[in-house]
Amino acid sequence: MSKITVLGMGAMGSRMALSLLKAEHEVTVWNRRAGKTDLVVKAGAKVAETPRSAVKEADFVISMVRDDEASKQVWLNSETGAMAGLSKNVIGIESSTLTVAWTKELAKEFKQKGVAFLDAPVAGTRPQAEAAKLIYFVGGDAATFTKAQPILQAMGSAVHSVGSVGSGMTIKLAVNALFGIQVSALGELIGLMHDCGLDEAKAVEILSSTPVCSPAAKMAASAMLVRNFSPLFPIELVEKDLSYAVKTAQSNQTTLPLVEAAQQVFATAIKEGYGEDNITGVAQLYI
């Protein structure tokens, strides 16, 4: 049993904390806004007032917050940030989906403090988090990975060591970019088939049965068909992740024209009021 702090009790962080509790770890949580910790407290977690006080006794600290800015706040805020409260033998784990540049900057802060650090973002959404079946992409040194692996396994079905710090985030952004491109293309194409007068259900069934349709695209197509847009991976987060892939390419003096195009489609969906819908809600631009 380890003492684990989870910072960020959003859709993913709260489910991850519950998995850790189920695995009989001692869990302390913190969330910026009140009212998000009730469920985990009922399941046995302690709540702290600030990220700094949350990490006092921790062996592992996991951050699962929205974006680069949120990550900066939880780790480095001069008054409340977790970094200043970490003891030397802790392992810091950043599981939010962030830019590679920020992840590397954060890793430098950990190095300066003399504390071990991993970037460990995840694939899988709310049902996978709930079932402890997330897929982890982990960047960091081998010794730190080995120590953290059993903790990550309590929340995931696969834990991949990818390379040095920042590598986990790079793969995660690539996975989400591929997913975002596929789902936005599907929305467009279902719209086209609809406009051409095809029987939508039959057309989607045939498209889904072909080898060009990935398992994830197949699931997205079924959801679009029944107009199920209830949030799992909300469009606002999809757009953020695609923008982070684009930024990461820019900082390597390259471009991602297809990812940028998909990002623009999701940005339009946000403008149209679909930001809180699931990724599949992008279809509403076309059907």
Ligand X SMILES: NC(=O)c1ccc[n+]([C@@H]2O[C@H](COP(=O)([O-])OP(=O)(O)OC[C@H]3O[C@@H](n4cnc5c(N)ncnc54)[C@H](OP(=O)(O)O)[C@@H]3O)[C@@H](O)[C@H]2O)c1
**Among the listed residues 4, 6, 12, 90, the single contact to ligand X using CB under 6 A:** 12
CA angle 214, 263, 72 (to 5 degrees): 105
Cβ contacts of 194 within 8 Å, gap of 6 or more: 200, 286, 287
Q: Residue 237 is encoded by which pair of tokens? A: 């987060």
**Among the listed residues 5, 8, 145, 167, the single contact to ligand X using CB under 6 A:** 8
Q: Does 91 bind ligand X (CB under 6 A)?
A: no
Where residue 208 falls (left for φ over 0; alpha for ψ -120 to 50; beta otherwise) is: alpha
Q: Does 78 bind ligand X (CB under 6 A)?
A: no
In the bound state with ligand X, the residue whose beta carbon lies nearer, of 25 and 172, is: 172
Q: Does 69 bind ligand X (CB under 6 A)?
A: yes
Q: Does 237 bind ligand X (CB under 6 A)?
A: yes
Confirm if 84 and 53 have CB atoms less than 8 A apart.
Answer: no
Binders of ligand X among residues 122 to 181 (CB under 6 A) are: 122, 125
CB of 75 to ligand X, least distance (A): 10
Q: Does 20 bind ligand X (CB under 6 A)?
A: no
Confirm if 96 and 67 have CB atoms less than 8 A apart.
Answer: yes
The number of residues that bind ligand X (CB under 6 A) is: 25
CB of 31 to ligand X, least distance (A): 5
Length of the chain: 287
The two beta strands, 134-139 and 122-123, are antiparallel
Q: Does 96 bind ligand X (CB under 6 A)?
A: yes
**Among the listed residues 3, 23, 26, 32, the single contact to ligand X using CB under 6 A:** 32
Give the containing element (helix H, strand E) for 47: strand 46-47
Binding site for ligand X (CB under 6 A): 8-13, 31-33, 36, 64-66, 69-70, 73-74, 96-97, 122, 125, 232-233, 237, 241
